[in-house]
Amino acid sequence: MSYTPNDNSNTPLYRRSLNHPTSSLEAADLIRVDRGQRGLLKISAIRDVDLLLATFGKQEEHLFANFIEAWKTLNFSNVHYTSIDKETRQSFMQAFYDEFLEYFNSDVHYLRIGAVYGLYCMYISQPPSLTALCSIRVNRDQWRIMFQFYIDGATSNDKEHANASFAFKQLLDQDAFIHVIQTKMKSPYYAELMEFKSSNQLLEEFHTMRKRRIAQDAISACRRDDAETRTTVPIDKLSTKYQKAKSAVRMTPQATLAAQDILLSITGVKESNPRLLHNALVKSSLSAEEDDFIHTLDNASRALWNARKRRLEGYFERPSNSRRKKKNNNEDEDEDNETNNT
């Protein structure tokens, strides 16, 4: 149903077999890829986008070059060949656009950066031989968040945010956006809408839960962003300010007097030499570096990204493993048949 990152095959996606929906819920959540009975389960597109952003998010830097590296590693451009039909191409592309747009609500700063790069690469990587470029449909609320993110990056000293704003500006210059009331393209057939009405309601609840999970990502606890202003407030800046404040405190007369009282209470010696008292302060916990907590957060964030990436990769490996197992079983059966015939 979706491309396999670890698969070395160059077979275009649209030529691979697509499983039939096993329930009305899957049928309602289907992305049509042609005018016939072929379709792509929406969960496949969701996992594709999640894996791409997880691969990008786990890197040390979050520049456009890092995103392109993740994009090429997963051969993400191959998704375009899943749907080559002119009538269904727009709805297929919008399904992927919608998944990237969801991440603008994330409270993880570099996931919003990845969402910009995802939209940019999905738009410009469309093969010209298929159809005309499919525009990105956005509603008013999405546009407000995206444009504010663009303005913040354009006026920010953050290199990563500024690069993302430049990519967004490229989309603006190419008129890549279409403003609509709702981005989801519903079926024009009334009977189909009525048939899947209850399934669509349940899918809407799932979608709400997914939006809540993205907006309250556990990784944000490791590198906290301000979800209100959409600006990064990294803890390491606060740590640097705290370190400078401690250095300033050590140079004050009050600090020398405090060191004198501490030495008197511990050793019973009343030291009056300022140089020795200052040395005692330098060797105390007041001069200890405050980066241990930062390293703890970085390690936790890295572990979360790796766990998320492994979980998503597991979804793509399972079909390959099952096919490999089936192939091995068939080979064993052939060998048994040959032995019996002999």
Please give the distance of CA 53 from its chain centroid, rounded to a whole number: 3
Helix (H, G, I), strand (E, B) or coil at 270: coil
The better pLDDT of the pair 249, 75 is held by 75
The pLDDT value recorded for residue 70 is: 93
**pLDDT tens per residue across span 295-321:** 776 777 777 777 877 877 777 665 444
Angstrom distance (rounded) from CA 336 to CA 47: 40
Angstrom distance (rounded) from CA 92 to CA 200: 18
CB 143 within 8 A of CB 177: yes
**pLDDT tens per residue across span 139-156:** 999 999 999 999 999 888
pLDDT-derived band of residue 188, with 50, 70 and 90 as boundaries?
Answer: low
**pLDDT tens per residue across span 37-46:** 677 888 888 8
The pLDDT value recorded for residue 72 is: 93
The pLDDT value recorded for residue 4 is: 37
The pLDDT value recorded for residue 239 is: 72
CB 1 within 8 A of CB 44: yes
Task: Please state, rounded to an integer, the average pLDDT across all residues of the chain.
Answer: 76
The pLDDT value recorded for residue 53 is: 92
Specify the DSSP class assigned to residue 178: E
User: How many C-beta neighbours within 10 Å does residue 311 have?
Assistant: 13
Question: Exposure of 111 by Cβ count < 10 A (0-12 exposed, 13-18 middle, 19+ buried)?
Answer: buried
The pLDDT value recorded for residue 216 is: 75
Mean pLDDT of 227-246: 62
The residue ranges of every structural domain in the chain are 13-218, 235-290
The pLDDT value recorded for residue 97 is: 95
The pLDDT value recorded for residue 120 is: 96
Q: Which residue stretches of the chain are H helix?
A: 24-28, 42-57, 64-73, 86-102, 109-124, 140-154, 159-173, 190-195, 197-215, 235-250, 253-267, 274-282, 292-341
pTM for this predicted structure: 0.69
